[in-house]
Structure 1
């Protein structure tokens, strides 16, 4: 079960986790101007409607200050949290690493730089690995991914498949309960 957690978005909005009405995709990313992270977030931003339609609330945590995030990520339609002391990273076991040096991560970094997703501040430091959590309204952790390198995280398609699996599982559970109740009632 996901521990009840309160985070504060860079907008000042309080974020209660789990969310009692929606799935939550809790993303842990590196520093706010990381070209790898921003390439990834750009894809989620393009497909934000799909996540919303699937009932997914996006929460992104950076190990940068809220001020840094506000100045750099103005057009991101998701809740963003600054965690420069890495309190939540430690709480959820998200590690630091030289994972940005792997070939796949370097390719993503170059794509990010080409598309202008890079700043020179390195707010929060360059070390860090991504992590993704999919959390049900009940607090059940439906899926987790701890990245092996800086570009090892769920794609939008993977997230949508996971969310669909959660919905299918929930429907199957309801069907099982109804079947059990009906069987018990006929005895």
Structure 2
């Protein structure tokens, strides 16, 4: 993991093989993905903070359990001067039916190019950690109910990039600096919306990036 104040010498979409994790104070690699499900997306954003979320595969019940909280509070997140960008390691075709109602950018990264660039890992502990078991059971039950109601779809039975991905959250400033970072220790180890808002307010008050509430 990089120490605060470190700099990542990365080019556009170039894999950073010497970096494990980015930490607060590091400079993020610029990221642009033409495979975005919604539109072309660029990071950093010169006018706003970017909350870059690395999730797992399309239709992942645990990912959707968390992202629904982001959807419900998206207006509040935007008012704080934060832009949400969410990545999945699935294809755009597979992602579209699962994220059609998300009010933020979703990027398909089936080759995990950005996952490698930002040091996001996979590990058996994503599901084996006892702290994950409760959220996993609740997420599966919730997803099953939504599938029965026709509101969600089951994930594809085969996942080329596996089911053991760990989540990661990065808060990136307009200059590309990483203001805060969290690399999850299990599948449901990520910032809550409240944590995100607190971090943004402490590290980059609304208005500093040219935004206003």
* CA pair 140-120 structure 1, distance change in 2 beyond 3 A: closer
In structure 1, C-alpha distance between the alignment counterparts of 2:133 and 2:61, rounded to whole Å: 10
Whether contact under 8 Å (1:36, 1:112) holds in the other structure is: yes
1:143 partnered with 2:180: yes
Structure 2: runs of 5 or more not aligned: 1-26, 147-152, 209-213
Whether contact under 8 Å (1:2, 1:135) holds in the other structure is: yes
The equivalent of 1:134 in structure 2 is 171
Q: TM-score, normalised by structure 2?
A: 0.75
Structure 1: runs of 5 or more not aligned: 172-187
In structure 1, C-alpha distance between the alignment counterparts of 2:52 and 2:106, rounded to whole Å: 10
* CA pair 168-58 structure 1, distance change in 2 beyond 3 A: closer
Match for residue 113 of structure 1 among 140, 143, 146: 140
In structure 2, C-alpha distance between the alignment counterparts of 1:114 and 1:30, rounded to whole Å: 18
* CA pair 170-34 structure 1, distance change in 2 beyond 3 A: same
1:94 partnered with 2:120: yes
SS in 2 for 1:41: helix
1:65 partnered with 2:91: yes
Residue 169 of structure 1 deviates from its aligned partner by 10
Task: Map 1:20-59 onto structure 2 (within 5 A).
Answer: 20-59=46-85
Deviations 1:105-163 (A, max 9, x none): 22112111222267241544211000000001111110010001111100000000011
In structure 1, C-alpha distance between the alignment counterparts of 2:113 and 2:201, rounded to whole Å: 31
1:17 partnered with 2:43: yes
Residue 48 of structure 1 deviates from its aligned partner by 0.7
- The answer to which structure has the higher helix fraction is 1
Q: TM-score, normalised by structure 1?
A: 0.85
Match for residue 155 of structure 1 among 192, 196, 211: 192
Structure 1 stretches of at least 4 aligned residues deviating more than 4 Å after TM superposition: 168-171
